[in-house]
Copies of this chain bind each other. A is one copy, B any other.
Amino acid sequence: MFTAKVKSEIIKAIIDVTSPLVNEAKFNISKEGISIRAVDPAHVAMVDLELNKSAFDEYTAEPMELGIDLDKLSGIMRLALAGDIVSLEYDEKSNRLIVKIGNLVRRMGLIDTAGMPDSKVPNLNLPAKAVVKADELSRGVRASEAVSDHLALSMDKEAFELFAEGDTDTVNLKLPKDLLIELDAPGKFKSMFSIDYFSNMIKPVKNENPVTIHLGTDNPIRVDFDIAENNGHVTYLLAPRIESD
């Protein structure tokens, strides 16, 4: 049993966060809310999304798994205006998710979740942490796209730094401690990442909202931020690219 009402923006946020990594996702429904964990086909990135039932206008659920085609869900949500309330209901008899927007009813076929593995969030030791404003970070990433397909992130006691290098051009974004919301790096740490993946991971956060970055050396990166007016949380993990000479 699962029935909920929620602002269309919240569902759009779920789609924005998960669809860069996967086309289909397993929604883990519990009494306390919805969680999604998914790994991209190349096994380079993982998303872990938690949405508390407090994000919903109404929420009643028994534990279950729903396999959802994100393209389909995105298509329906394009019909909702900002502020529209969307009603979700699982129909057990037909194994359909019933999505209602106003007088419109879409009965959506579900995907068998048997083929969707349960991923575990790996235990990572990432000693350095910075909290950065989303638009600062986004500008650095977009600038990097013009010169390379990978970028290096580093932290030390003084600053967070982003660096990308092409054949003739370089991009550098250095944010000293006083321009960061938080910085805590016991030493110097540096890892390299695919710009494509990293760009998708920060895209859901807008304006001056905080993005938390955990970093090690030649280790994965962990990116955290809140969604749904702090009633939800997203964690991304991204494997490093190892520099070859």
User: In the docked arrangement, what's the CA distance between A75 and B175, Å?
Assistant: 22
Contacting residues, chain B, for A78 (C-beta < 8 A):
142
Q: Of the candidates B105, B136, B174, which one forms a contact with A105 in the assembled complex, judged by CB atoms under 8 Å apart?
A: B174
Most B CB atoms within 10 A — which of A72, A108, A167, A169? A169
Judged by a CB distance under 8 angstroms, whether A216 is at the interface is no
Instruction: Report A165-193 residues with CB < 8 Å from chain B CB.
Output: 167-175, 179
- Determine whether the beta carbon of B169 is less than 8 Å from that of A109: yes
Using known A-B contacts A146-B72, A146-B76, determine if residue A171 contacts B103 with beta carbons closer than 8 Å. Answer: no
Contacting residues, chain B, for A169 (C-beta < 8 A):
72, 96, 106-109
Q: Of the candidates B72, B143, B174, which one forms a contact with A76 in the assembled complex, judged by CB atoms under 8 Å apart?
A: B143
Determine how close the nearest CB of chain B comes to the CB of A136; give it in whole angstroms.
7
Contacting residues, chain B, for A103 (C-beta < 8 A):
136, 173-175, 179
Judged by a CB distance under 8 angstroms, whether A33 is at the interface is no
CB nearest to A142 among chain B residues: B79
User: In the docked arrangement, what's the CA distance between A105 and B175, Å?
Assistant: 11
Closest 4 pairs (CB-CB, A-B): A109-B168, A105-B172, A107-B170, A75-B146
22 pairs, CB–CB < 8 Å, chain A vs chain B = A72-B146, A75-B146, A79-B139, A79-B143, A96-B168, A96-B169, A101-B139, A102-B136, A103-B136, A104-B139, A104-B140, A104-B173, A105-B171, A105-B173, A106-B147, A106-B171, A106-B172, A107-B170, A107-B171, A108-B169, A109-B168, A109-B169
